[in-house]
């Protein structure tokens, strides 16, 4: 069995939907097809909900624009015989959505739960349309089998429960199963949640892992995983093959091709991932698997994670630093904050990076951890450098290139860019460099030219 996932641009227009139909109908084995909302619809649903919450009457026009977009697609891609039924299913969802927007405008309030409900309509509608378009397709509702739980104020997948529910749900006969991506429900309350922006990839991976698929195919709008974001580096090359770890590192550090949590479940089951182009199905794409792991060193890509903050804590005594580090890392882990240890030439002591979103919380966790010590050891007051971006250079077996990190730092510095911190020697697949955010694009160009062209 194969699992295919089509992203927003792939299901964005009648032309792209015809490609999807051709690709799926051309497969002669059992297939699960996970679909995103029509391209741009998730953003539009969020913007419309915000207009409604501000009681701006323009939300009604936006709502009708969303409706027209879906009806237009149905008109153009669904066979005559199935049109009436599809139109009425989508109309029912749209009527529901319309009432929710009216409700939001009445109470002028948009809690996360309501926004999650609003965005769920994107995938609910697109999956109805794709199901009616593909011969032999049957829709399976992910609201009933993708389950989340709350973790430090965020909804995260409950993978154990989800896996059991997927096995149960798909234990029926089907040829082509269509599944809305991204959306889920809370395992306790049943309230609609989602897996985070870009989360359809993750839905597909959870299904692929639970059903022991032979491959997970991510169909998107580029020819494969490239050595850098082609929107920023026009001469980026497609990478034919890479390891799970390499893809995971690149995506964690900002490559948008795959939503980062996606890779774990399939990696764990050793199910390969292919990245393919819906607009050029014959292109070979990128093959991600474990067999690439020990095959020597080559750079697979350079990416940029925007919005990182650098924390530095020092102590007069070197003998103190392991204690400072252990307490800091433990305290942050207990609050669910992810950090990346780095070295910072300008700051001795313990240095690490966090996402800027976590900056305020990180600062308060550290201050409360060390509050009793600070009067005697003022250096434990964290120094924070914000508005940074992290550039990552990825390729397995970095140990074979001991001088690469220094070479990259030299090139960046020679170009007048400021490397505030870096990690070198901490991982065998990734080097990172933190720079002021306005220097990130220049750094990407310089480093890509140096190592990937």
**Residues making contact with ligand ASP (CB under 6 A):** 7-8, 36-37, 42, 122, 181-182, 197-200
Indicate whether 220 belongs to the interface with ligand ADP (CB under 6 A).
yes
Q: Closest distance between Mg ion and the C-beta of residue 201, in Å? A: 6
Distances (CA, A) of 411 to 22, 300, 345, 445: 47, 19, 16, 11
CA distances from residue 387 to 158, 202, 372, 382, 398 in whole angstroms, order as listed: 33, 29, 29, 16, 28
Strands 430-436 and 383-394: antiparallel
String marking each residue 176-205 x if it binds ligand ADP according to CB under 6 A: ----------------------x-------
Number of residues counted as binding ligand ADP (CB under 6 A): 19
Residue 382 gets which letter from DSSP? P
Using CB under 6 A, which residues numbered 35 to 74 contact ligand ADP?
36
Nearer to ligand ASP, 122 or 285 (CB): 122
Residue 193 phi, psi (nearest 5): -130, -170
What is the rounded distance in angstroms from the CA atom of residue 250 to the CA atom of residue 224?
A: 13
- Reduced to 3 states (helix: H, G, I; strand: E, B; else coil), residue 148 is strand
Task: Extract long-range pairs of 279-284: CB within 8 Å, 24+ residues apart.
Answer: 279/16, 279/19, 279/221, 280/223, 281/19, 281/22, 281/23, 283/223, 283/224, 283/238, 284/224, 284/240
Tell whether residue 260 is a contact of Mg ion (CB under 5 A). Answer: no
**Options 257, 350, 392, 446; binder of ligand ADP; rule CB under 6 A:** 257
d(CA 135, CA 202): 25
Nearer to ligand ASP, 12 or 405 (CB): 12
The answer to whether residue 198 forms part of the interface with Mg ion (CB under 5 A) is yes
In angstroms and rounded to an integer, the radius of gyration of the C-alpha atoms of the chain is 24
Q: Which does 285 bind (CB under 5 to 8 A by kind): ligand ADP, Mg ion, ligand ASP, none?
A: none
Residue 378 Cβ vs ligand ADP, minimum distance, rounded to whole Å? 43
Q: Name the segment binding ligand ADP (CB under 6 A); options: 226-234, 351-359, 381-389, 418-426.
A: 226-234
User: Shortest Cβ distance from residue 355 to ligand ADP (Å)?
Assistant: 18
Judged by CB, which is closer to ligand ADP: 40, or 436? 40
Residue 231 interacts with which of ligand ADP, ligand ASP, Mg ion, none, CB < 5 to 8 Å by class: ligand ADP
Binding partner selected for residue 197 from Mg ion, ligand ADP, ligand ASP, none, CB under the kind-specific 5 to 8 Å limit: ligand ASP
CA distance linking residue 48 with residue 42, whole number of Å: 10
DSSP state of 244: H
Q: How far is the CB of 183 from ligand ASP (least distance, A)?
A: 9
Q: What is the C-alpha separation between 84 and 104, in angstroms, rounded?
A: 30
Summarize as ranges the residues that interact with Mg ion (CB under 5 A).
7, 198
Summarize as ranges the residues that interact with ligand ADP (CB under 6 A).
7-10, 36, 198, 220-222, 225-226, 228-231, 255-257, 301
């Amino acid at each position: 069995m194969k699992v295919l996932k089509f992203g927003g641009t792939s299901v964005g227009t009648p032309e792209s939907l015809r490609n999807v139909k051709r690709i799926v109908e051309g497969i002669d084995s059992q297939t699960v097809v996970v679909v995103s909302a029509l391209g741009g619809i998730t953003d539009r649903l969020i913007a419309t909900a915000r207009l409604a919450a501000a009681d701006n009457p323009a939300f009604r026009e936006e709502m009708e624009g969303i409706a027209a977009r879906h009806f237009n697609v149905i008109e153009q891609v669904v066979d005559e015989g199935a049109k009436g039924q599809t139109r009425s299913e989508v109309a029912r969802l749209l009527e529901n959505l319309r009432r929710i927007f009216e409700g939001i405008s009445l109470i002028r309030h948009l809690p996360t739960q309501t926004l999650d409900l609003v965005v769920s309509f994107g995938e609910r509608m697109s999956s109805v349309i794709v199901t009616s378009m593909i011969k032999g397709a049957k829709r399976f509702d992910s609201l009933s089998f993708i389950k989340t739980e709350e973790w430090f104020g965020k909804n995260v997948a409950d993978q154990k429960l989800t896996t059991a529910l997927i096995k149960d749900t798909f234990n029926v006969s089907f040829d082509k199963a269509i599944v809305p991506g991204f959306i889920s429900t809370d395992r306790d309350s049943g309230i609609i949640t989602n897996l985070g922006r870009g989360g359809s990839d993750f839905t597909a991976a959870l299904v692929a892992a639970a059903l022991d698929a032979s491959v997970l195919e991510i169909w998107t709008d580029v020819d494969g995983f490239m050595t850098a974001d082609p929107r920023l580096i026009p001469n980026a090359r497609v990478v034919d093959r890479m390891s799970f770890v390499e893809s995971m590192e690149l995506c964690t550090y900002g490559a948008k091709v795959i939503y980062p949590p996606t890779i774990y479940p399939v990696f764990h089951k050793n199910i390969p991932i292919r990245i393919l182009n819906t607009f050029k199905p014959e292109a070979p794409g990128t093959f991600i698997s474990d067999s690439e792991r020990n095959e020597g060193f080559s750079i697979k890509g350079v990416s940029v994670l925007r919005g990182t903050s650098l924390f530095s804590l020092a102590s007069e005594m070197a003998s103190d630093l392991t204690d400072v580090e252990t307490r800091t890392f433990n305290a942050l882990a207990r609050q669910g904050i992810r950090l990346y240890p780095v070295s910072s030439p300008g700051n001795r002591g313990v240095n690490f990076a966090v996402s800027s979103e976590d900056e305020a919380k990180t600062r308060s966790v550290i201050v409360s951890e060390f509050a009793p010590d600070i009067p005697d050891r003022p250096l434990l007051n964290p120094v924070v450098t914000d508005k940074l971006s992290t550039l990552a250079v990825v390729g397995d077996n970095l140990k074979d290139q001991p001088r690469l990190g220094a070479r990259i730092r030299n090139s960046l510095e020679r170009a007048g860019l400021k490397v505030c911190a870096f990690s070198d020697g901490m991982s065998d697949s990734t080097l990172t460099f933190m720079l002021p955010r306005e220097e990130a694009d220049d750094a990407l160009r310089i480093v890509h030219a140096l190592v990937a062209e």
